Amino acid sequence: GVRRDLDGRRVMVTAGPTVEPIDPVRYISNRSSGKTGYAIARAAALRGADVTLVSGPVSLPAPEGVRVVRVRTAHEMLEAAEEAFRDADIAVFAAAVADMRPRAVSDRKLKKSLDGDELGAIELVENPDILATLAARKDRQVVVGFAAETNDVVPNAEAKLAAKRADFVVANQVGEGMAFGTDDNAVWFVDAEEVEELPRMPKSRLADEILDKAVQFLR
Ligand code: C5P
């Protein structure tokens, strides 16, 4: 049977990409499918939690019994996550937030080189780090971060753990045919004490492994 070990607990999950508009027809985004975050939200609800899923644009159905707050930009995601984080016992940051956004959004379609070269000179600014911003304010919240890396996966995850004040980081290797959009994943759990390597498994089972680990940090 299903464990109800999250009965009475509040869980917040960010998931999917963010989309940063350039002009009325273009945007900056990434290849995140949202599958991992959605799987975690679904698993948490099945385990009895009150779940808020702050989701960028994805083509996945809302998990049953989960409150979904739909956002587009990193700024909208930060705002929605801020509110959900305040009451959360566990906060999982699975979103692939766009690193940069255009400094200004044009209200008309920008021109390419042939007729004005406005696209070649789009000024980009860095988006807020949602995980780092909220983890800096944590009191009871268990904070779970992700690190998708092409190389030096565990050292990079260790650096993120410290820099962002997460309780643990779920690290995985990305690249050709790995992680993004797939239904399974092989990860490492990195916390201040140890590095644990997990075998490749479906994202649905990985979701429960992540929640098992988070439960150990509940105060
Ligand atoms: O992009 P990066 O590798 O730094 O992401 C690591 C973690 O930080 C992930 O959990 C991601 O959801 C989170 N993050 C965030 N806001 C950002 C960038 C990353 O919450 N702007």
Could you tell me which of 16, 15, 143 has the C-alpha nearest to residue 91?
143
The candidate with the shortest Cα–Cα distance to 94, out of 215, 211, 219, is: 211
pLDDT at 178: 65
pLDDT, position 27: 97
User: Predicted confidence band at 201 (pLDDT cuts at 50, 70, 90)?
Assistant: very high
CA distances from 57 to 15, 49, 66, 105, 134 (A): 9, 24, 16, 19, 22
Residue from 12, 99, 131, 167 to probe ligand 1 pocket by mutation (most atoms less than 8 Å from CB): 131
pLDDT at 81: 98
Tokens for 42, please give them: 């679904």
What is the tens place of the pLDDT at every residue in 205-215? Answer: 999 999 999 99
pLDDT at 179: 65
Determine, yes or no, domain membership for 158. Answer: yes
For the Cβ of 187 lying below 6 angstroms from any atom of ligand 1, the answer is: no
CA of 199 to the centre of ligand 1 (A): 23
Q: Is position 3 within any domain?
A: no
pLDDT over threshold 70, residue 1: no
In a domain, 2, yes or no: no
Domain, as residue range, for 174: 10-217
Evaluate if residue 177 carries a pLDDT over 90.
no
Find out whether 103 and 125 touch, Cβ atoms under 8 Å: yes
pLDDT in tens, 2-58: 789 999 999 999 999 999 999 999 999 998 999 999 999 999 999 999 999 999 999
Residue 204: what pLDDT? Answer: 93
Residue 1 lies in a domain: no
Reading the block at residue 125, the tokens are 């600014």
The predicted model gives 173-182 an average pLDDT of 73
Arithmetic mean of pLDDT over the chain: 94
Number of domains in the chain: 1
Q: Within a domain: residue 27?
A: yes
Q: Which residue has the tokens 């479906």?
A: 202
Say whether 116 sits in a helix, a strand or coil. coil
126 lies in a domain?
A: yes
Distance, CA of 14 to CA of 70 (rounded, Å): 10
Cα of 171 to ligand 1 centre, how many Å?
A: 12
Q: Is 186 a residue whose pLDDT tops 90?
A: no
Here the CATH number for the domain that contains residue 191 is 3.40.50.10300
What's the CA gap between 74 and 14, in Å, rounded?
A: 11
Is the Cβ atom of 188 under 6 angstroms away from ligand 1? Answer: no
Segment holding 77, helix H or strand E = helix 74-86
Give the distance (Å) from ligand 1 centre to CA of residue 113: 33
Give the tens place of pLDDT for each residue, 96-144.
999 999 999 999 999 988 888 888 889 999 999 999 999 999 999 999 9
- Determine, yes or no, domain membership for 93: yes
CA 126 to ligand 1: nearest atom: 21
Residue 134 within a domain: yes
Residue located nearest, by CA, to atom 5 of ligand 1 = 147
The predicted model scores a pTM of: 0.95
Query: Three-class SS of residue 40?
Result: helix
